[in-house]
Amino acid sequence: MSFSSFTTFDSNPLSTPWSKGFVTHLRPRLLSRPRNVVVCSVNPHAASPSLAVAQSASQGLSRIESLSQVSGVLGCQWGDEGKGKLVDILAQHFDIVARCQGGANAGHTIYNSEGKKFALHLVPSGILNEDTLCVIGNGVVVHLPGLFKEIDGLESNGVSCKGRILISDRAHLLFDFHQVVDGLREAELAKSLIGTTKRGIGPCYTSKVVRNGIRVSDLRHMDTFPQKLDVLLSDAASRFRGFNYGPDMLREEVEKYKRYAERLEPFVADTVLVMNEAISHKKKILVEGGQATMLDIDFGTYPFVTSSSPSAGGICTGLGIAPRVVGDLVGVVKAYTTRVGSGPFPTELSGKEGDLLRFAGQEFGTTTGRPRRCGWLDIVALKYSCQINGFSSLNLTKLDVLSEFSEIQLGVSYKHIDGRLIKSFPGDLRLLEELKVEYEVLPGWKSDISSIRNYFDLPKAARQYVERIEELVDVPIHYIGVGPGRDALIFK
């Protein structure tokens, strides 16, 4: 295998430079792509769109085209908010969609215009839009067997990936043994489980931070790759009694990664250069966050968090772009709250109400299939998330799920057990477990809203709910999800 010009785009077999070496994945046809398409694809079998739908689409087009050159879509809660759908819709108006952190623990479910479901984990959600280049940045940890399986699944369903995915040469490789270590680590914790997806994310980031990790660029040096892998495997074996490592395992892994390296070669690039040249050439870039702010390694409910920074700061460190170029950030928040795994959850519902939310919203993990814990919308956590990220607008998803309730509650404040107000989302887990949530009760609407496409056609109680959230967090809600399909979106 030859990686002799690994970081030079002009030598990439998928590239033929058209402007001073800028990758031609952003080829001239992207420049001439029509920008007057209707954003929300309508099911071809459905009836002709109503005037309200047309008006909503026109308003949506205006909203989307006003987004800044470099925009982002980030989760506000504990993940699973529905970021993939918005990214898929917005991608039709962006040249690049980029992932900046996390790994295959991110599960983004999206639907094409025919209603076919795709579950993505590493590939950015812009892949369904044929003119979009998808970038997996240096902050992502990449499990190659999973990535290739994902690409094969997309290709077999008619989604071309050739020339449309770039992977940073600085990204760290996540190996199968990282997943084994993840499970062993969780078993060690016994009753104090973090509740990870067991996809090896934490152990891979651990390797990165202790500086014995292996990066994509290391695949071009097969003379030293075996020694580096031996260091990693030996370290795992010395740490965990249940991890069996010997020469046969090393030999098999090296042979496997020689084959992977050959297949990976066309996808690899210096994505820091790609992103910055794209910015200088005025290309539109959309950053897709994995997980969400309340799982941030610094700002989330530590230690029940992920191992990267899914908040706004992760965009710059995970892609190598300057803070000054990042513009509009859209926060995605469910109309209620869910989380998977262990950790504090102040507004969690138990019993019948929690079950009703879970089944009405089909709250089962995209990555793991695990049932999600469900509760009312937590305004304190949402305001905290908005402060950290500086969201310019919000996407409120799954509003239709709340149609089942005659009354809906909003968790509007936290108080100490002695009644004193807690001014912000606390970092102290003991306090989080002991605090009392104060709720506002709003009327439900008890009617199906899944076919509504114009904001003012929503029941008054539904609009009251949306507007009360805006008032409490002081951020406008520009997008409202009322179903899983691409077209089930209201622009406000």
Is 419 labelled a binding residue? Answer: no
Contact indicator for 258, 5 with CB cutoff of 8 Å? no
Is 481 annotated as ligand-binding? yes
270 is in an annotated binding site: no
Is 448 annotated as a binding-site member? no
Q: Is 109 annotated as a binding residue?
A: yes
Distance separating alpha carbons of residues 212 and 194, to the nearest angstrom: 24
197 annotated ligand-binding residue: yes
The verdict on whether residue 206 carries a ligand-binding annotation is: no
| Residue 318 assigned ligand-binding role | no
- Residue 372 is assigned to a ligand binding site: yes
Cα→Cα distances 242→41, 213, 308, 434, Å: 51, 21, 27, 37
Element (H or E) spanning 153, and its range? helix 144-156
> Could you give phi then psi for residue 217, rounded to 5 degrees?
-65, -20
Check whether 107 is labelled as a binding-site residue: yes
79 is in an annotated binding site: yes
Residue 208 a catalytic site member: yes
From CA 122, how far away is CA 126, in angstroms rounded? Answer: 12
Specify the DSSP element, H or E, that contains 109. strand 108-111
486 is in an annotated binding site: no
**Residue 291 annotated as binding?**
yes
Which residue of the set 208, 284, 334, 383 is catalytic? 208
Q: At what angle do helices 247-264 and 225-239 cross, to 10 degrees?
A: 130
Ligand-binding annotation for 367, yes or no, is yes
- Cβ neighbours of residue 290 under 8 Å, at least 6 residues apart? 99, 101, 102, 103, 105, 106, 108, 140, 308, 310
> 483 among the known binding-site residues?
yes
Q: Are 140 and 101 in contact (CB under 8 A)?
A: yes
Determine if residue 221 is labeled as part of a ligand binding site: no
Exactly one of 25, 80, 93, 383 is catalytic; name it. 80
Closest CA to 454 of 405, 487, 476, 407: 487
Q: Clarify whether 80 is annotated catalytic.
A: yes
Strand order in the sheet with 268-269: 268-269, 165-168, 133-136, 96-99, 285-288, 70-75, 329-334, 393-397, 477-481, 489-491
Is 195 known to sit in a ligand binding site? Answer: no
Per the listing, tokens 């014995």 go with 212
Burial class (CB in 10 A: 0-12, 13-18, 19+), 211: exposed
Residue 400 counted as an annotated binding residue = yes
Our answer to whether residue 108 is catalytic in this structure is: yes
Q: Which residue(s) pair with 374 in the sheet?
A: 338
Name the catalytic one among 93, 108, 143, 172: 108
Q: Do residues 177 and 232 make contact, with C-beta atoms less than 8 angstroms apart?
A: yes
Instruction: Show which residues are catalytic.
Output: 80, 108, 208
Residues annotated in a binding site for substrate:
366-372
Residues annotated in a binding site:
79-85, 105-109, 197, 211, 291, 306, 366-372, 398-400, 481-483
Residues annotated in a binding site for IMP:
80-83, 105-108, 197, 211, 291, 306, 370
Residues annotated in a binding site for GTP:
79-85, 107-109, 372, 398-400, 481-483
Residues annotated in a binding site for Mg(2+):
80, 107
